[in-house]
């Protein structure tokens, strides 16, 4: 990170973090202005994707009872667009919207895009509001949109570089594993060993087995090591190699369905697609992916 960019980022954090992350930080009433809700646009760099309805209801009830204790922080929208863009206070904005407010108190600050993303990440991380994948996506955006290295991201977020690197690696997991992580049924510690599993379908199977069996992190590590030992000792299959196109299509189907799909070609271009499943629950999962319908909709 260049000195100038680091100073700009540091100035933005130092000037803003205390104002909205510290509930005790004083705010000059003269700086607060009233802004119409319809003029506020969401933070385009908001890393948090899920907001629990129960959480928002509790906040709305508190605001109804006690008022809005902290103003929102907004910045002017791009030149010529008019209105405001949210810097901090996404939960508060959603809560007062639910209450039917037309106007809200706000502090106006000049914040560049890079600082805006860092502020949103810090706010959510300090409140433990981000899931591991949302955190990873935020770090990825800092790298791709602003050209920050992992070391620069780590310094900006007050974390070790290894922590940032390990979080970013979660985005390399197969979709089926990321889904279990996002749902909270597996922890980052559970899924990190799966990063060493080359077969994405097998990684998905191990993840589902971990959920079903209630594996600990250590058990997952042992299962992955055992799986890799068995794979190395298994003799290579004999016979002619498959058509590369068939292999590619088979792999796409495996990734899409999260199971070990097999394409068997016969004569004259005919063939069979085998879609195995691990049990009734897994069958319903595959059925939903193939048809777009829940099994309960078909069978009463």
pTM, entire model:
0.56
Dist. CA 161–CA 182, nearest whole Å: 23
pLDDT in tens, 88-142: 888 889 899 999 999 999 988 887 777 777 777 776 665 656 788 988 988 888 8
Residue 57 has pLDDT above 70, yes or no: yes
Whole-angstrom CA distances from 106 to 19, 75, 101, 160, 169 are 12, 10, 13, 34, 37
Greatest mean pLDDT range, 107-116, 168-177, 282-291: 168-177
Active site residues: 90
Greatest mean pLDDT range, 36-45, 146-155, 214-223: 214-223
DSSP characters for 249-260? HHHHHHHHHTS-
Least confident window among 3-12, 69-78, 95-104, 225-234: 3-12
Element (H, E) at 86: strand 84-88
Q: Name the residue with higher pLDDT: 2 or 255.
A: 255
């Amino acid at each position: 990170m260049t000195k100038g960019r680091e100073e700009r980022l540091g100035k933005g954090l130092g000037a803003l973090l205390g104002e909205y992350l510290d509930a005790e930080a004083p705010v000059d009433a003269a700086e607060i202005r009233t802004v119409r809700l319809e003029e506020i646009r969401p933070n385009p760099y908001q890393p948090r994707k899920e907001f629990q309805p129960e959480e928002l209801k509790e906040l709305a009830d508190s605001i109804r009872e006690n008022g809005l204790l902290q103003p929102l922080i907004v910045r002017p929208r791009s030149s010529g667009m008019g209105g405001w863009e949210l810097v901090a206070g996404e939960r508060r904005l959603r809560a007062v919207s639910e209450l039917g407010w037309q106007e809200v108190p706000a502090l106006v600050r000049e914040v560049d895009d890079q600082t805006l993303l860092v502020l949103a990440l810090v706010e959510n991380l300090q409140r433990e509001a981000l899931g591991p994948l949302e955190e990873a996506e935020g770090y990825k955006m800092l790298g791709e949109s602003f050209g920050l290295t992992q070391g620069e991201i780590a310094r900006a977020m007050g974390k070790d570089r290894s922590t940032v690197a390990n979080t970013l690696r979660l985005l390399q997991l197969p979709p089926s594993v990321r889904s279990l992580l996002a749902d909270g049924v597996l922890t980052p510690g559970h899924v990190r060993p799966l990063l060493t599993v080359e077969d994405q379908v097998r990684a998905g199977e191990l993840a589902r087995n971990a959920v079903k069996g209630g594996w600990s992190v250590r058990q997952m590590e042992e299962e992955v090591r055992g799986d890799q030992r068995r794979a190395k000792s298994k003799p290579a299959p004999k016979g002619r190699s498959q058509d590369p196109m068939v292999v590619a299509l088979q792999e796409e189907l495996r990734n899409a369905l999260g199971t070990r799909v097999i394409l068997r070609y016969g004569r004259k271009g005919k063939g069979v697609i085998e879609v195995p499943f691990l049990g009734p629950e897994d069958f319903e999962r595959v059925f939903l992916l193939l048809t777009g319908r829940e099994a309960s909709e078909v069978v009463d």
